[in-house]
Amino acid sequence: MTKKRIAIDMDDVMAATGRKILKTYNHINSTAFTEQHFENKSYFEIFDEKNYHKIREEVFKPGFFRDVEVMADAIEVVKKLHEIYEVFIVSAATEFPNSLKDKMDWLEEHFPFISWRNVVLCGDKSIVAADYMIDDHEKNLKTFKGKTLMFSAIHNQMVNGYQRFKSWKEIEVFFDNE
Ligand SMILES: [Mg+2]
């Protein structure tokens, strides 16, 4: 029997990238923003324009994505899913060319059981077809034809119409019942 396919996003799903952006922004601008400032808002709405450019420069630098923390329970649950499903890591990363190597190295370090064949680094996820998609952005989920799982993030609290998951443990329970 063919295994069903799951497309899993990296930033703010497998990797705590938002946390690093916030930390870096506060560090370079001597600010003290917390996650709560970003409830239902994008970074762009909070960071002032001048400083937003500074953080964008940081995100474009080689190494920015290399040391991002892994989300709690992601390794354990993705590993379990990988045993039952065909897991693909799908990241809209080509906007940040230096991130491509960082992301491959990061996956090799934390998710060595994921083959390079199962990594899709792209610019637009509407090209992606699979049975399930786990993502924090509505723009990626809304064009997806399979089942959508919205990974809850501070910036997507106002988005309705998707099954929402607050943790990898909740995702594990969902797939236990599939
Ligand atoms: Mg994401």
Domain extents in the chain: 1-178
Runs of H (alpha helix) within 85-152: 99-110, 138-141
- pLDDT score recorded for residue 175: 98
Active site residues per annotation: 9, 11
Compute the mean pLDDT over every residue in the chain, rounded to the nearest whole number: 94
Instruction: Calculate how far, in angstroms, residue 11's C-alpha sits from the geometric centre of ligand 1.
Output: 4
- High-pLDDT (> 70) share of the chain, %: 100
Instruction: Calculate how far, in angstroms, residue 17's C-alpha sits from the geometric centre of ligand 1.
Output: 8
- pLDDT score recorded for residue 133: 98
User: What's the whole-model pTM score?
Assistant: 0.94
Q: How many CB atoms sit inside 10 A of residue 45's CB?
A: 11
The Cα–Cα gap between 40 and 64 comes to 24
- pLDDT score recorded for residue 29: 87
- Is domain 1-178 classified as CATH 3.40.50.1000? yes
Averaged pLDDT, 140-155: 96
Instruction: Calculate how far, in angstroms, residue 14's C-alpha sits from the geometric centre of ligand 1.
Output: 8
Sign of CA pseudo-dihedral 162, 165, 171, 176: negative
- pLDDT score recorded for residue 151: 98
- pLDDT score recorded for residue 48: 75
Kindly list the distances between the CA atom of residue 162 and the CA atoms of 66, 149, 158, in Å, as whole numbers in the listed order: 30, 7, 11
Instruction: Calculate how far, in angstroms, residue 178's C-alpha sits from the geometric centre of ligand 1.
Output: 23
**What does the pLDDT look like over 65-91, one tens digit per residue?**
999 999 999 999 999 999 999 999 999
Question: Which amino acid belongs to residue 146?
Answer: G
Averaged pLDDT, 152-177: 95
> Is residue 123 over pLDDT 80?
yes
Instruction: Calculate how far, in angstroms, residue 40's C-alpha sits from the geometric centre of ligand 1.
Output: 15
